[in-house]
């Protein structure tokens, strides 16, 4: 099975899919977020709760070495459960995350203003059993799998069907959302010269879990000054919007990633191209 990690003796080893575009000695932020979500999910209170907010702090590179995880329940209530998780390598915390589970409840009465969103979806479904190459939509152009289509200053969307996170088990809806949420950096910060910001964090908010294998990101905003960028995207599936993803990025000019060259050098087949690596 194609997967981002294999598990050996309670530790996780990155496959080629999980290696970062910034450096081959590091693990991609998308994969880091997915792995942290998986660890947090081991403390899930069940279907009566929704992981309404996931936040990851990516303050040290996660190395392409065996990964250890640790986690704890911080708050366990009838309406709220909060869990923390960390990735530990070489005796230090490399990344950490938290999730706030909220109890499902009846919608309050009355009408509340909601934004009108035009969220694009591909006509054909991405339903490969082991994932599919991502599709991009730039401005008013059609969906395409060509990375070159995104090397510009236009508004972008991306559409995913991810393979397994850990070999031998299906990826869960929460893991899928956390993983794709980190790709906000690419959707919002990818310009004419590639990606020049590396995100130091990601926050994914959801009012419900994604349905089905497909999940999209639609760029909403990009604000930048003095080498710091704040980017926001809508997370959605074929049913409609799920919530919002926000990343804070710091300039990484010395390692600016040309995504076209990266895709050509790294991915040589459809299964390997099933993920955008950050």
Confidence of residue 189 (pLDDT cuts 50, 70, 90): very high
Give tens-digit pLDDT for 210-269: 999 999 999 999 999 999 999 999 999 999 999 999 999 999 888 888 877 767 665 554
Contacts of 138 (CB under 8 A, 6+ apart): 144, 149, 150, 152, 154, 155, 156
pLDDT digits (tens, 9 = 90+) for 116-142: 889 999 999 999 988 998 999 999 999
Looking up residue 83, the CATH number of its domain turns out to be 2.40.160.210
Q: Please name the residue that has the structure tokens 């005796």.
A: 91
Neighbour order of strands in the sheet with 228-237: 68-76, 80-89, 92-103, 49-57, 197-206, 240-251, 228-237, 214-225, 156-161, 132-138
**Domain carrying residue 221:** 3-103+123-274
Residue 114 domain flag: no
265 in a domain, yes or no? yes
Name the token pair of 166: 């850990």
Q: Are 247 and 154 in contact, with CB atoms under 8 Å apart?
A: no
How large is the average pLDDT for residues 158-163? Answer: 96
Nearest residue to 4 (alpha-carbon basis) of 41, 33, 39, 44: 33
Please state, rounded to an integer, the average pLDDT across all residues of the chain: 92
CA distance 164 to 263: 20
Q: How many CB atoms lie within 10 A of CB 38?
A: 22
* Domain count for the chain: 1
Confirm whether 115 is domain-assigned.
no
**Domain annotation covers residue 108:** no
The pLDDT value given to residue 1? 53
Question: Percent of the chain scored above 70 by pLDDT?
Answer: 94
pLDDT digits (tens, 9 = 90+) for 40-74: 999 999 999 999 999 999 999 999 999 999 999 99
Contact (CB, 8 A) for 162 and 171: yes
Flag whether 248 is in a domain. yes
Q: What is the mean pLDDT of residues 178-203?
A: 95
């Amino acid at each position: 099975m194609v997967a981002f990690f294999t598990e050996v003796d309670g530790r996780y080893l990155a496959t080629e899919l999980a290696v970062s575009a910034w450096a081959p000695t590091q693990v991609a932020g998308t994969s880091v977020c997915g792995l942290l979500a998986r660890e947090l999910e081991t403390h899930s209170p069940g279907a009566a709760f929704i992981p309404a907010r996931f936040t990851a702090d990516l303050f040290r590179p996660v190395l392409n070495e065996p990964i250890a995880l640790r986690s704890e329940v911080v708050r366990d209530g009838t309406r709220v459960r909060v869990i923390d998780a960390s990735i530990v390598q070489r005796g230090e915390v490399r990344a950490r995350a938290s999730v706030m589970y909220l109890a499902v409840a009846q919608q309050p009465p009355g009408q509340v203003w909601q934004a009108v969103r035009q969220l694009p979806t591909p006509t054909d479904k991405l339903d490969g059993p082991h994932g599919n190459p991502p599709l991009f939509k730039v401005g008013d152009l059609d969906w395409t799998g060509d990375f070159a289509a995104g090397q510009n200053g236009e508004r972008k969307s991306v559409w995913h069907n991810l393979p397994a996170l850990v070999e031998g088990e299906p990826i869960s809806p929460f893991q899928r959302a956390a993983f794709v949420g980190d790709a906000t950096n690419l959707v919002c910060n990818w310009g004419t010269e590639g990606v020049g910001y590396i995100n130091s964090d990601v926050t994914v908010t959801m009012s419900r879990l994604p349905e089905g294998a497909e999940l999209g990101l639609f760029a909403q905003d990009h604000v930048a000054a003095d080498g710091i960028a704040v980017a926001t995207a809508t997370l959605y599936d074929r049913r409609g919007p799920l919530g919002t993803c926000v990343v804070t990025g710091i300039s990484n000019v010395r390692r600016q990633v040309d995504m076209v060259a990266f895709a050509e050098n790294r991915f040589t087949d459809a299964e390997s191209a099933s993920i955008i690596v950050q």
